[in-house]
Amino acid sequence: MKNEISRRNDYDFFEEAMHDFFPVFYGGKHSQKYMRTDIKEDENAYLMEVELPGMDKNDIHVDLKDGYLNISVNKSEKNDGGKKDNYIHRERSFSCSRSYYVGDIKKEDIKAKYENGILNITIPKETEKKAEESRILIE
């Protein structure tokens, strides 16, 4: 850290502290992706578990378009009636998204439930289409 101070004229102690204490949010070498996801498979469906701790159900959007399941989160800081506190740094706003290819599935068949910081999504397996016979019968 001492070398960084001597190399940079615009050193900001609080910004640097955030990098050191919260490397996940600043892309540190040990950072993890947001929305960590586990996907399980059973006979009829895929079961997704997406970590979204601290989110409200209304901040989460799940859409299906062109065979892609898109999960997005947009949490914005709520104004508490104009009350001002003496914050030096706040990180209450957050947004991210991920997409997963699920194939030709009807949106009505996908089930989603958010509970205890985990978004559980059940996606039925795509039914295999039978190859259509291309032979034309001659009379």
Given this model, what pLDDT does residue 118 score? 95
Model confidence, pTM = 0.63
- Which of residues 57 and 87 earns the better pLDDT score? 57
Task: Tell me which DSSP letter residue 19 carries.
Answer: H
Domains and their CATH numbers in the chain:
1-32 (no CATH), 35-124 (2.60.40.790)
- CA–CA gap between residue 52 and residue 95 (Å, rounded): 11
> What type of residue is 11?
Y
- CA–CA gap between residue 103 and residue 128 (Å, rounded): 11
Is the CB of residue 105 less than 8 Å from the CB of residue 124? yes
Helix, strand, coil in percent for the chain, rounding step 5:
15, 35, 50
Given this model, what pLDDT does residue 109 score? 93
Q: What percent of the chain has pLDDT over 70?
A: 68
- Which of residues 90 and 101 earns the better pLDDT score? 101
pLDDT tens by residue, 29-55: 444 567 899 999 999 999 999 999 888
Closest CA to 67 of 107, 108, 104: 104
Locate 128 and state its tokens: 């295999």
- CA–CA gap between residue 105 and residue 101 (Å, rounded): 10
Confidence of residue 93 (pLDDT cuts 50, 70, 90): confident
Closest CA to 59 of 9, 2, 21, 97: 97
Say which residue the tokens 């600043």 belong to: 26
The three-state secondary structure class of 55 is coil
Q: Does pLDDT of 12 surpass 80?
A: no
Q: Does pLDDT of 82 surpass 70?
A: no
Average pLDDT value for the chain: 77
